[in-house]
Amino acid sequence: MENDHAKLEATIPPALLRTERNSLLAETDWWILRGNPTQEQLDYRQALRDITKTATPELNEWRELTGVEWPTKPE
Protein backbone atom coordinates (compact mmCIF):
# COMPACT_ATOMS: atom_id res chain seq x y z
CA MET A 1 0.00 0.00 0.00
CA GLU A 2 2.79 2.44 0.91
CA ASN A 3 4.61 1.55 -2.30
CA ASP A 4 1.46 2.28 -4.31
CA HIS A 5 1.16 5.67 -2.62
CA ALA A 6 4.79 6.49 -3.47
CA LYS A 7 4.23 5.49 -7.10
CA LEU A 8 1.17 7.71 -7.27
CA GLU A 9 3.04 10.63 -5.65
CA ALA A 10 5.83 10.26 -8.21
CA THR A 11 3.37 10.89 -11.06
CA ILE A 12 2.31 14.30 -9.75
CA PRO A 13 5.37 16.45 -10.64
CA PRO A 14 5.56 15.30 -14.28
CA ALA A 15 1.80 15.81 -14.63
CA LEU A 16 2.05 19.35 -13.24
CA LEU A 17 4.96 20.05 -15.58
CA ARG A 18 2.95 18.94 -18.60
CA THR A 19 -0.11 20.92 -17.49
CA GLU A 20 1.90 24.14 -17.13
CA ARG A 21 3.78 23.48 -20.37
CA ASN A 22 0.52 22.91 -22.25
CA SER A 23 -0.90 26.14 -20.86
CA LEU A 24 2.17 28.10 -21.99
CA LEU A 25 1.97 26.54 -25.45
CA ALA A 26 -1.73 27.40 -25.68
CA GLU A 27 -0.94 31.03 -24.84
CA THR A 28 1.29 31.19 -27.92
CA ASP A 29 -0.81 29.21 -30.39
CA TRP A 30 -1.87 32.48 -32.00
CA TRP A 31 1.73 33.01 -33.12
CA ILE A 32 1.37 29.96 -35.32
CA LEU A 33 -2.22 30.61 -36.35
CA ARG A 34 -1.41 34.07 -37.69
CA GLY A 35 1.00 32.33 -40.05
CA ASN A 36 4.22 34.30 -39.58
CA PRO A 37 6.00 33.33 -36.34
CA THR A 38 9.53 34.58 -35.74
CA GLN A 39 12.38 32.15 -35.24
CA GLU A 40 12.56 33.26 -31.60
CA GLN A 41 8.90 32.32 -31.15
CA LEU A 42 9.42 28.95 -32.81
CA ASP A 43 12.46 28.29 -30.62
CA TYR A 44 10.49 29.15 -27.48
CA ARG A 45 7.70 26.77 -28.40
CA GLN A 46 10.22 24.03 -29.18
CA ALA A 47 11.92 24.58 -25.82
CA LEU A 48 8.53 24.17 -24.14
CA ARG A 49 7.88 20.93 -26.00
CA ASP A 50 11.36 19.66 -25.04
CA ILE A 51 11.08 20.59 -21.36
CA THR A 52 9.75 17.17 -20.40
CA LYS A 53 13.08 15.73 -21.59
CA THR A 54 15.32 18.22 -19.78
CA ALA A 55 13.57 19.03 -16.51
CA THR A 56 13.62 17.02 -13.29
CA PRO A 57 10.33 18.11 -11.76
CA GLU A 58 9.83 17.69 -8.02
CA LEU A 59 7.51 19.12 -5.40
CA ASN A 60 8.93 21.15 -2.54
CA GLU A 61 7.54 21.14 0.99
CA TRP A 62 4.83 23.62 -0.08
CA ARG A 63 3.81 21.31 -2.95
CA GLU A 64 5.20 23.74 -5.53
CA LEU A 65 6.87 22.51 -8.69
CA THR A 66 10.68 22.81 -8.65
CA GLY A 67 13.48 21.49 -10.82
CA VAL A 68 12.18 23.21 -13.94
CA GLU A 69 13.92 26.04 -15.76
CA TRP A 70 11.27 27.55 -17.98
CA PRO A 71 12.40 29.22 -21.20
CA THR A 72 11.98 32.97 -21.46
CA LYS A 73 8.99 33.99 -23.54
CA PRO A 74 9.96 36.33 -26.36
CA GLU A 75 8.29 39.71 -26.61
> How far lies 62's CA from each of 7, 8, 23, 70, in Å?
19, 18, 22, 19
**What residues pair up with 66 in beta bridges, in sequence order?**
58
| pTM of the complete model | 0.86
Q: Is the pLDDT of residue 1 over 70?
A: no
pLDDT value of residue 74: 96
Find the DSSP H helices in the chain.
2-27, 29-33, 39-54
pLDDT value of residue 18: 97
